[in-house]
Amino acid sequence: MSLKDRLAQPVNQTLRRIPSWPLYIVGAIPPVWLFVAGLTGGLGVDPVKAMEHQMGEWALWLIIASLCVTPARRYLGINLIKFRRAIGLLAFFYVLFHFLIWLVLDVQIVSQILADIAKRPYVTVGFAAFLLLIPLAATSNNWSVRKLGPGWRKLHQMVYAAAILGALHFIMLVKGFQLEPYIYMAAILGLLALRLPDWLKRRRR
């Protein structure tokens, strides 16, 4: 047994005893807290914008966390696969809440919403990322895995494009140069780069 496996073995033994369903309960707490804080004046002078921004940023955190699962297994020997579905679904619902806050609480006017999607590049990019995540969330179940077969894995590789578009949306959204969104983009590109050896190996085969 390699040193990596010896170090990872106790971690994996512990992880096997932890079910994935509590993640959904834990993941429901931040949006509820954010909504209550918005109602009680805890989010400053513009609570809608604060909720909108925070939900989008949390969604990026979760997307990045889902991208960490494969490199963690390959390079560290830590198996988080059984948690990836919950992380991915929570990321989708956070993006959905981010979108609904913008749609229902911020813009509100249907014609303005359509105009923003068509004419504002950062909105177009963010909306494209949201659309890419819809089929991934809809097929995040055992029935879809069996029904789609090898195509399921290819379909879910769209998360790579959605992650890049999400970070690009953040970069385009902020005013002036801010380091934070570029850190997210660098993290996403770095995690995708770690997949290149496996991709090149499959190409050679």
* Integer Cα distance of 18 and 41 in angstroms: 37
Of 87 and 203, more confident: 87
Model pLDDT, residue 199:
76
Q: How many domains does the chain have?
A: 1
83, burial (CB in 10 Å: exposed 0-12, middle 13-18, buried 19+): middle
Range of the domain at 118: 3-204
Model pLDDT, residue 3:
66
* Integer Cα distance of 32 and 144 in angstroms: 30
Which positions ≥6 away from 120 have C-beta within 8 Å?
Answer: none
pTM for the full predicted model:
0.92
Residue 11 pLDDT greater than 90, yes or no: no
Using the structure block, give the residue that is written with the tokens 């990045």.
64
Per-residue pLDDT reduced to its tens digit, 101-154: 998 888 877 778 888 888 889 999 999 999 999 999 999 999 999 999 989 999
- Mean pLDDT across the stretch 50-64? 96
Residue 1 pLDDT greater than 70, yes or no: no
Confidence of residue 35 (pLDDT cuts 50, 70, 90): very high
Phi-psi label, residue 176: left if phi above 0, alpha if psi -120 to 50, beta otherwise: left
Distances from the Cα of 140 to the Cαs of 53, 144, 192, in angstroms? 26, 7, 21
